[in-house]
């Protein structure tokens, strides 16, 4: 099956990275809307227009399923895309339920973009899980900018995160949930800042598991034999320098995958 992974930028590579490990024989398309990144600072109307344009292109490529590997796009557009298109559409959901299942009655900090933090979807999830007194939300928009320029573990990144998280008494929290796929590139710096008892959780595995469930694919640990096409806002990426840059993102994700 040809499966598309769609994001505003390079964060969605973290979800694709996980999928390639357990679905090693599929055909993948990765679509990064590099002309319009970041989505988190746009209006919902602007994000919806960007997502709809990307979907039209991807369906024209013959994909059988689309993974919206972007929490912001999921929050704003997935419901409308499911109403408009009939193929399986899998969105992201912050791993808040995972955190609460692991640590009942302990507080959870959810970090995301501003549009996700203020959006209706995350607040519906909190209400559904009866976590109004346990879940706290924090927007970390600059992490998207850092990730896009591959500034993963600089002093500026650490300074930014320490300043943004300084107000929290971490002894009261069980975990940090990464509610933006771009944030997966910064697990080492976050691990340095957070106390050892706090887990760092993301929704990548849950999203890929939902893809498997919705499409009846079979997970496997067989030798990798997948195909991958990459597009930046409808333009196929073939330039050797740009492919080398993308490989650097994948190497970073290999390094971050073991950090919890």
> What is the 3 state secondary structure string of the chain?
CEEEEEECCCCCHHHHHHHHHHCCCCEEEEEECCCCCCCCCCCHHHHHHHHHHHHHHHHHCCCCEEEECCHHHHHHHHHHHHHHCCCCEECCCCCHHHHHHHCCCCEEEEEECHHHHCCHHHHHHHHHCCCCCCEEEEECCHHHHHHHCCCCCCHHHHHHHHHHHCCCCHHHEEEEEECCHHHHHHHHHHHHHCCCCCEEEECHHHHHHHHHHHHCCCCCCCCCCCEEEEEECCEECCCHHHHHHHHHHHHHHHHHCCCC
Q: Out of 50, 70, 157, 161, pick the active-site residue.
A: 70
The residue annotated as part of the active site, out of 51, 58, 180, 198, is 180
Task: Report which of 49, 17, 48 is spatially closest to residue 30, judged by C-alpha positions.
Answer: 17
Q: Whole-angstrom Cα distance, residue 94 to residue 177?
A: 7
Told to judge if 180 belongs to the known catalytic residues of this protein, a careful annotator would answer yes
Q: What is d(CA 252, CA 156) in angstroms, rounded to the nearest whole number? A: 18
Q: Is 50 an active-site residue? A: no
Catalytic residues: 70, 180
């Amino acid at each position: 099956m040809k499966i598309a992974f769609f994001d505003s930028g390079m964060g969605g590579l973290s979800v694709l990275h996980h999928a390639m490990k357990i679905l090693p024989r599929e055909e993948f398309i990765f679509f990064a809307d590099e002309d319009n990144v970041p989505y988190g600072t746009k209006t919902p109307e602007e994000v919806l227009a960007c997502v709809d344009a990307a979907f039209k292109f991807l369906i024209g490529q013959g994909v059988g399923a689309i993974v919206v590997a972007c929490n912001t796009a999921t929050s704003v557009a997935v419901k409308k895309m499911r109403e408009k298109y009939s193929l399986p559409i899998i969105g992201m959901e912050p791993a808040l339920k995972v955190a609460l299942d692991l640590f009942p009655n302990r507080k959870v900090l959810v970090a995301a973009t501003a549009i996700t933090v203020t959006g209706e979807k995350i607040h519906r999830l909190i209400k559904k899980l009866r976590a109004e007194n346990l879940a706290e939300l924090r927007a970390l928009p600059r992490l998207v900018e850092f990730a896009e320029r591959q500034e993963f573990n600089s002093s500026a990144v650490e300074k930014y995160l320490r300043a943004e998280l300084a107000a929290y008494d971490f002894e009261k929290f069980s975990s940090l949930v990464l509610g933006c796929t771009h944030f997966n590139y910064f697990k080492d710096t976050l691990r340095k800042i957070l106390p050892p008892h706090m887990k760092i959780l993301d929704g990548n595995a849950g999203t890929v598991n939902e893809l498997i469930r919705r499409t009846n694919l079979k997970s496997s640990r067989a030798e990798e034999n997948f195909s991958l096409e990459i597009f930046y806002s409808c333009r196929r990426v073939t330039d050797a320098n740009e492919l080398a840059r993308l490989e650097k993102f994948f190497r970073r994700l290999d390094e971050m995958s073991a950090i919890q």
